[in-house]
Structure 1
Amino acid sequence: MVSSAAAEFIDRTLRAEGSEERAAADAERVGGGLHFYGASVGAVRGTVRDARRRHPRMTHDEITALASELWSTPVYERRLAAIVLLQGHVTELLASDLTRLEQFLRDARVPELVTPLAVDVVRPLIGRLEGAEALRSRGIVARWASEDDAHLRQAASAI
């Protein structure tokens, strides 16, 4: 399966790119109970780019499965890699993906993941929807604005 091979490549590469010192500093700065490999944002972006080159014909379902697989482990760099992956495929996302994205936002734990997910993935996705899908998505974001979950409120205000 493409997503597992790609997830393994991404995880292995991010671990290799990390440093204990950066991981400790990031854990102190970002927090949120996440684990950190200590890889730089540039390393995350480059790793996702390399994974996309290794698997150039990923389908929508493979992309979203890979994002979910990366997100499933509470490691900051893996979750950032999921966001970078989705940023690169935002035009392929569907209105039905909002459910998955909402769950990512609920589980993000830190604003450093909420903001890029909301601004660079959810906002462009919602911005290109039309008709009933656009109305439904605006309703979802309006609901987020009044949720008890601080991350959903943050996402709604960013959108």
Structure 2
Amino acid sequence: MASQHLRDAADAIDEALQYESSWQRAEDHRARFGDGIEYYGASVGAIRATLRDTLRRYPALVHDDITALSSLLWSTPVYERRLAAIILLQGNLSVLVASDLTRLEGFLRSSILPDIAEGLAHDVIGPLVRSLDARDRPRADTVVARWARGDEPLLSRAAAVVDARS
């Protein structure tokens, strides 16, 4: 369970993303990416700035904090929150470990949009898998191979993205 300071951080990120929103951009995103998820209409630059500001307020985040905060952001199906989770994880790849693939698989399964799943695979999962040592890499490769053989399109596409970059 996430601590109160992480819930506060997630709430602050959400509030800032809503403040930075534009209904026109939200409609553009909906037209580009589709339905099934909400859109605030915040720009990628605003998402990055929001994360940068938040991480300055919480400078001592460790692995469990980063993964818990990413889960809090992911838990609400809003495009910008999920993109923020991806950017947070991408900026903290050095703390991720092989066992985080379980959480990332859950993110893929619930990503709703192919673009979100592909971004997660390209920016987080692929680099994580490539960074693993000789002990953990075979296990990660087995997980990605299972995704490729499965019948879930978001997982199999993510596996293709990871394999293409390996």
The TM-score, its normalising length taken from structure 1, stands at 0.96
Within the alignment, does 1:38 sit opposite 2:41 as a pair? yes
CA distance in 1, matches of 2:42, 2:98: 32
Structure 1 CA distance, aligned partners of 2:35 and 2:133?
36
Q: 1:143 to 1:32 in 2, by over 3 A?
A: farther
Q: Give the counterpart letter for 2:145 in structure 1.
A: A
Deviations 1:89-146 (A, max 9, x none): 0110011100000010111111221122111111111112123311110000001111
Which of 108, 122, 125 is equivalent to 2:125? Answer: 122
Q: Residue 135 in 1 paired to residue 142 in 2? A: no
State the alpha-carbon separation in 1 of the partners of residues 119 and 29 from structure 2.
Answer: 17
1:75 aligns with 2:68: no
**CA distance 1:2–1:59, shift in 2 (3 Å):** farther
Q: Which runs of 5+ in 2 are unaligned?
A: none
The structural deviation recorded for 1:3 is: 1.3
Gaps of 5+ in 1: none
The one-letter code of the counterpart of 1:82 is: A
SS for the counterpart of 1:132 is coil
Q: Number of paired residues?
A: 159
CA RMSD of aligned residues (A): 1.0
Mapped partners of 1:151, 1:49: distance in 2: 29
Of residues 63, 66, 79 in structure 2, which corresponds to 1:60?
A: 63
Give, in whole Å, the separation in 2 of the partners of 1:113 and 1:119: 10
Q: Distance between the aligned counterparts of 1:49 and 1:84, measured in 2?
A: 10
Question: Bigger CA drift: 23-32 or 42-51?
Answer: 23-32
The equivalences for 1:1-159 within 5 A come to: 1-159=4-162
Moved over 6 A (4+): none
Provide the TM-score with structure 2 as the length reference: 0.92
Task: Give distance in 1, aligned partners of 2:47 and 2:115.
Answer: 14
